[in-house]
């Protein structure tokens, strides 16, 4: 899977017992220890979901791979107060209503530099954890405190940092108090809640109360305090992510994890006490099939009932359309906010040179990638915002396919071709490691085409295919992205309905490093003072018109600096067996399992 561009799309805790009769690349077969589940297949009692990448973890707010969210949506182990549905509407989830300034759920309190935004959530009273314990306001406050614990290795806490306190006046009321101007400046000077002052550097010049355009959204999850608090006291926050509960977490969702065979499958059993009613299907099996051809073959033979978007792309359209025409499956191409790109590590001696980055941008024939690999079903992009979304700027700088211009830029930067045709400067060849995830056939072809394009202008790209669990590993033992050991790195961001979270992806404060516990997702290491100012402003105003202006300027700065090579937009491509009912794919990073409790196989 891909990181959730926010939140995106991404630490492997490799601890689970091996199961005899393991799943093969060809099919699930019979697995001893899963007799009841295997016996139910084909009877409508089990739905098998195919994914191409294994979740690195299912821990509470741990990891940022998109595939994590696919499973978490089914088990509900970090339920949020509100959530987004397939129509991009924000609706109540743990909360009874979505609080807004208009309905009085949010309001300003205090005066002057002590003025703050206060948001009140009233919780439902019928929600229980899968062990039968009621979900209360204490679980929400505990989750916020754990996320804010500097020893707990979450990939991002930038939105939770905006809160000064979380109050729980009773078991079913949560009051989120955003920082006032005075509190924000004090945090920037002294730190707050165990986090150092540098974590609050963006607030040093705060003017007015700290705001967030998504104040009504899902920034406050609930964690089962009655289970995690004793464990936290026993092992500490740093060790908590390594505990077994992060493989079989307690949740409020329609399903719970009963078995996880590493690299093979995760078995989910229905929770009869789910607050929206018992799920229609008793069991889900999340099956890990890393090879795209195997995914398609198993879809054709009905070994898979659902295939999620991490496993499919427009590359598979001919096969999917053929199966759909044969009435074997339904194929869905949902215009989305996912985009494929190549991060450039600006700490690299070559990639730190702007002309080199611009040369790479001009050298790649992105339209060829769309036509040859994705069957012309998508578009070349020039920024991080999808064209259909409100924050897209058509004025962003564009880099056309122009090999001669690429060569000229390299010459201006002091490079000259060697005897082998590869550019060199100061005796060092322009040779770069080009990494991406293993097992993705579309990405395999894209990287080979990009490699050839770069070679044509004298840049050597050495292809490196890395297992997704390693590529997206976060936490104390980060992979190439979070550890920033990559040079060129291709993957996709899975976006939402808003650019919230962009600061975590593109600002100086979002650069992950050992001294900030690898928090943030600005993997290229892009730094620009004006860019930082704009991103801070974009997330500290409720004026939507001003946000449009801010993002237009920021996208121009970002595109001119070329820390990332934008490739193409991606549809959310999913597929199901024709008999699967109530499958409602989404255009954003809301996973397709968001309503899996309503799925069933018709006779």
Q: Could you give all domains of the chain from N- to C-terminal order, each with its CATH number?
A: 82-225 (3.90.76.10), 337-571 (3.10.105.10)
User: CA-to-CA distance for 124 and 275, rounded, in angstroms?
Assistant: 10
Strand bridging mode 600-601 / 580-581: antiparallel
Q: For residue 520, give the nearest of 499, 505, 535, 501 by alpha carbon.
A: 505
- Three-state secondary structure readout of 3-36: EECCCCCCCCCCCCCCCCCCCCCCCCCCCCCCHH
Confidence of residue 22 (pLDDT cuts 50, 70, 90): very low
User: CA-to-CA distance for 296 and 307, rounded, in angstroms?
Assistant: 9
Question: Is residue 581's pLDDT more than 70?
Answer: yes
pLDDT tens per residue across span 87-140 = 888 999 999 999 999 999 999 999 999 999 999 999 999 999 999 999 999 999
pLDDT tens per residue across span 487-535 = 999 999 877 788 877 888 899 989 999 888 888 899 999 999 999 999 9
Question: Is residue 9's pLDDT more than 60?
Answer: no
Find all residues with CB under 8 Å of 352, minimum gap 6, and list them: 346
Question: Is residue 3's pLDDT more than 70?
Answer: no
What pLDDT, on the 0 to 100 scale, is given for residue 23? 24
Q: Are 566 and 381 in contact (CB under 8 A)?
A: yes
Question: Considering only 18-22, 314-318, 432-436, 506-510, which range has the smallest mean pLDDT?
Answer: 18-22
pLDDT tens per residue across span 169-209 = 999 999 999 999 999 999 999 999 889 998 898 899 999 99
Mean pLDDT over each residue of the chain, to the nearest integer: 89
DSSP, res 195: B
- For tokens 């979270």, name the residue: 501
User: CA-to-CA distance for 162 and 557, rounded, in angstroms?
Assistant: 26
Q: For residue 432, give the nearest of 418, 422, 442 by alpha carbon.
A: 422
Q: Are 210 and 247 in contact (CB under 8 A)?
A: no
Angle at 318 between CA 315 and CA 324, to 5 degrees: 120
- Quick one: what percent of the chain has pLDDT higher than 70? 93
């Amino acid at each position: 899977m891909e990181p959730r561009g926010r939140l995106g799309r991404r630490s492997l805790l490799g601890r689970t017992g091996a199961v005899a009769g393991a799943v093969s690349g060809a099919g699930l077969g019979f697995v001893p220890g899963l007799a009841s589940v295997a016996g139910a297949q084909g009877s409508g009692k089990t739905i098998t979901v195919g994914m191409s990448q294994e979740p690195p973890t299912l821990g509470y707010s741990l990891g940022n791979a998109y595939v994590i969210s696919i499973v978490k949506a089914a088990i509900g182990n970090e339920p949020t107060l509100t959530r987004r549905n397939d129509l991009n509407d924000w609706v109540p989830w743990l909360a009874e209503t979505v609080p807004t300034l208009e309905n009085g759920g949010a309001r300003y309190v205090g005066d002057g530099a002590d003025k703050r935004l206060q948001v009140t959530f009233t919780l439902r009273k019928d929600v229980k954890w899968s062990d039968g314990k009621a979900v209360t306001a204490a679980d929400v406050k505990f989750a916020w405190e754990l996320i804010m614990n500097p020893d707990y290795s979450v990939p991002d806490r930038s939105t939770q940092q905006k809160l000064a306190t979380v109050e729980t006046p009773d078991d079913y009321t949560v009051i989120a108090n955003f920082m006032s101007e005075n509190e924000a400046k004090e945090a920037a000077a002294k730190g707050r809640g165990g986090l150092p002052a540098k974590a609050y550097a963006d607030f040093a010049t705060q003017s007015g109360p700290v705001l967030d355009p998504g104040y009504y959204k899902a920034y406050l999850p609930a964690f089962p305090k009655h289970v995690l608090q004793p464990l936290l006291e026993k092992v500490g926050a740093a060790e908590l992510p390594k505990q077994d509960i992060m493989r079989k977490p307690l949740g409020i969702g329609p399903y719970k994890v009963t078995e996880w065979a590493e690299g093979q499958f995760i078995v989910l059993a229905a929770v009869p006490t789910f607050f929206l009613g018992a799920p229609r299907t008793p069991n889900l099996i999340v099956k890990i099939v890393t090879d795209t051809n195997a995914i398609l073959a198993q879809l054709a033979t009905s070994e898979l009932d659902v295939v999620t978007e991490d496993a499919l792309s427009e590359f598979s359209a001919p096969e999917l359309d053929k199966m759909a025409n044969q009435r074997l499956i339904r194929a869905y191409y949902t215009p989305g906010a996912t985009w494929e790109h190549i991060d450039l590590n600006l700490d690299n001696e070559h990639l730190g040179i702007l002309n080199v980055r611009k040369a790479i941008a001009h050298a790649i024939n992105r339209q060829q990638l769309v036509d040859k690999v994705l069957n012309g079903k998508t578009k070349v992009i020039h920024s991080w915002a999808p064209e259909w979304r409100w924050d897209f700027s058509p004025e962003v700088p564009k880099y056309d396919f122009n090999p001669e211009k690429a060569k000229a830029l390299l010459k201006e930067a002091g490079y000259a071709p060697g005897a082998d045709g590869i550019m060199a400067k100061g005796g060092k060849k322009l040779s770069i490691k080009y990494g991406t995830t293993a097992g993705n056939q579309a990405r395999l072809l894209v990287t080979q085409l990009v490699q050839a394009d770069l070679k044509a202008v004298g840049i050597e790209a050495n292809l490196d295919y890395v297992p997704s669990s390693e590529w997206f590993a976060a936490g104390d033992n980060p992979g190439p992205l979070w550890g920033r050991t990559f040079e060129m790195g291709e993957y996709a961001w899975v976006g939402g309905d808003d650019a919230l979270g962009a600061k975590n992806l593109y600002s100086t404060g979002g650069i992950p490093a050992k001294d900030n516990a690898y928090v943030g997702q600005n993997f290229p290491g892009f730094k620009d003072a004006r860019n930082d100012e704009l991103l801070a402003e974009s997330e500290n105003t409720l004026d939507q018109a001003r946000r449009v202006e801010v993002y237009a300027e920021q996208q121009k700065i970002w595109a001119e600096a070329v820390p990332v090579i934008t490739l193409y937009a991606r549809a959310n491509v999913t597929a199901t067996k024709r008999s699967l009912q109530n499958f409602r794919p989404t255009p954003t990073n809301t996973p397709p399992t968001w309503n899996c409790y309503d799925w069933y196989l018709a006779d």
